[in-house]
Structure 1
Amino acid sequence: MELARAAAVLMGSGITGVRPMGGGDLSEIMTVWLDDGRPVVVKNGPAPRIEADMLWALRAAGAPAPEVLAVDDTVLVLEWIDGTDPMRSAWTDLGRVLRTLHAADPTALAPSGHYGWARDFAFGNLTIGNGFRDDWALFWAEQRLLVHVPHVAPAIARRLESLARTIPDRLPARPTPALLHGDLWSGNVLAKDGRISALVDPACCIGHAEADFAMLTLFARPTSDFWEAYGPREPGSAERVTLYRLWPALVHLRLFGSAYHDMVTALLAEVKA
């Protein structure tokens, strides 16, 4: 109730009901009913203000995302959105939404020709280092792969170090900059009546559009309708997406433990690292 009360104070309202919500593996999340009868979504987390900035960026890019109603250093209050249908009911619309997001001009969010994000973020207690680089391949090697080396088993660390040396030959240095959602798994996509209601829980950065396919395809298999709605991909995309999957796999290994060891080693083998 402490989180709900803090949200009510931010909203200048009382509370008529509270219900915990699923999916909050790394933060507390709940539906709170205010005095006027409105339901709102309330969550905490390591960086509510940064998450709010990311949601604003998604909305400005034309992607559906919840409106930020209030935020401070510990609490984020969001518009409640109906999105109870399974994502598989809206693959076509997700392709359209993701194409819109990736096609938006991100120059207001990063220096021209640079990749990354202005501030570091986090999944729970795992820091996502950002900052800006003018070379996407080096950003990915240093900020998404090598950062894990001190925190994984020595055998995996050695393979990551070897792989990182080859990244400039595997990934483009200067792809067209795109705003990435950054954590696009099915739990962060709300759907209703065949449409995407909202993209939630972003971990945004400016980067190569294909990186958003990594998390999407790590645990799900988009249908042909999704790919057709998204549109043409660059040659070699499948190989690069496999490489991009290593980052969310490593994040899961560090957050949730040895259950993800085999996933990481399988991906390392697939990219011949």
Structure 2
Amino acid sequence: MSDQVPGQVRGRVERLLGVGVDGLHGLGSSHSWTLHRASLADGREVFVKAASESIQDGGAGGVFAAEAAGLRWLSEASDPGSGVGAPVPEVVAADEHMLVLPWLPSASPTPSSAERLGRELAALHTTARPAAYGAPWDGYIADLPLDNTQDDRGWPGWYAERRLEPFLRLGARHLPSADVRLVERVMADIERLAGPSEPPSRVHGDLWSGNVLWTDGRALLIDPAAHGGHRETDLAMMALFGTPHLERILAAYDEAAPLADGWRARVPLHQLHPLLVHVALFGASYRASLADAARAALG
């Protein structure tokens, strides 16, 4: 990061929030943005995600707009009657260069906070269901575009067309032809492999453990690729790279919103999309995991 970038970030935060910044601490970078903790003159502390210099003039706005839209949309699935809130932070502010969230102190995950997450995730998936798969905004996962074209005809075809096929094309240069054919076989047989029909759910869409922020007594979900999707997708993503107390999360979830028979066997099917994203982003190091998931999905 160049010496002038912290000053640029400070100035953008002040203009966006209309309040002075007393302190700004860099937290590193991720993909095409930098991360910061800011202390505001009004006493608040906030988390700031800012476009890096290389993309400030081209394309960052869609990433921040999608994330802000996704967090706000997920928050609409709170259930006041039961006292269960959507497990997402509020959006303090966002524009084409920046996203600002409250600063949330981290805590160690506990069995009770894991069980709460399971219940809140179940409520998120089953409250205020969207009418269609997809979303009314352009999507991103990391800084790769996601096709959120809405479709009410059913999840299997939408998943194959909007999530598997585009990322198979992106990642094909890193894959042997045999692995490409494996994923193509899954897409061809998607209707059989998808299991019982489910209505759309509001899903996080990128729910690996790094996007679960454990706070005091609760977990909140950050960095969504939110859309109307299949609720098993979020659970499969949590399993892909490991999440603390996962079995407690799943047990509490299944008690609150029972899952369809055979859902564990369908985990590899739902993991194919994030694995294809990783192939597209990071190359051949994810080839073996992708092929194993495709074979498992096919049974």
- Deviation string 1:203-234 (CA, Å, 9 cap, x unpaired) is 11112111111210001155432222112211
Query: What aligned pairs does 1:1-273 form with structure 2 within 5 A after superposition?
Result: 1=6, 2-21=8-27, 24-25=30-31, 27-44=33-50, 46=60, 47-62=63-78, 63-86=86-109, 90-107=113-130, 112=131, 114-134=132-152, 135-151=154-170, 152=172, 153=175, 154-172=177-195, 174-196=197-219, 198-220=220-242, 222-231=245-254, 232-272=258-298
User: Residue 70 of structure 1 contacts residue 76 of structure 1 at CA under 8 Å; is this kept in 2?
Assistant: yes
What TM-score, normalized by structure 2, do the two folds share? 0.82
The verdict on how the C-alpha distance between 1:78 and 1:256 changes in structure 2, with shifts beyond 3 A counting, is same
Q: Deviations over 1:124-157 (max 9, x none)?
A: 4421111111221100011111112322123322
Residues 178-224 of structure 1: CA deviation (Å, up to 9, x unaligned): 1001111111111234422x211111111211111121000115543
> How far did residue 22 of structure 1 move?
5.8
Shift of 1:158: 2.1
Aligned length: 267
Displacement of 1:104 in angstroms is 0.9
Q: Distance in 1 between matches of 2:222 and 2:136?
A: 20
Per-residue Cα deviation, 1:101-120 (whole angstroms, up to 9, x for no partner): 1111134xxxx3x2111122
SS in 2 for 1:130: coil
CA distance in structure 2 between the aligned counterparts of 1:156 and 1:82, rounded to whole angstroms: 42
The Cα of 1:79 is off from its aligned counterpart by 1.5
Q: Runs of 5+ in structure 2 lacking a partner?
A: 1-5, 52-59, 79-85
In structure 2, the CA distance between the partners of 1:60 and 1:177, relative to structure 1 (3 Å rule), is same
The answer to whether the 8 A contact 1:89-1:191 is kept is: no
Q: Is 1:180–1:204's contact at 8 Å kept on the other side of the alignment?
A: yes
**Paired residue secondary structure (1:117):** coil
Residue deviations 1:26-67 (CA, integer Å, cap 9, x gap): 532211111223211111363212211111112221213222
- CA distance in 1 between partners of 2:286 and 2:127 (Å): 34
Question: How far does residue 4 in structure 1 lie from its aligned partner after superposition?
Answer: 3.2
The aligned counterpart of 2:54 is none
Q: Is the 8 A contact 2:65 2:95 kept in 1?
A: yes
The structural deviation recorded for 1:89 is 6.9
Q: Which amino acid aligns with 1:91?
A: A
Aligned partner letter, 2:189: T
Deviates most, 82-91 or 245-254: 82-91
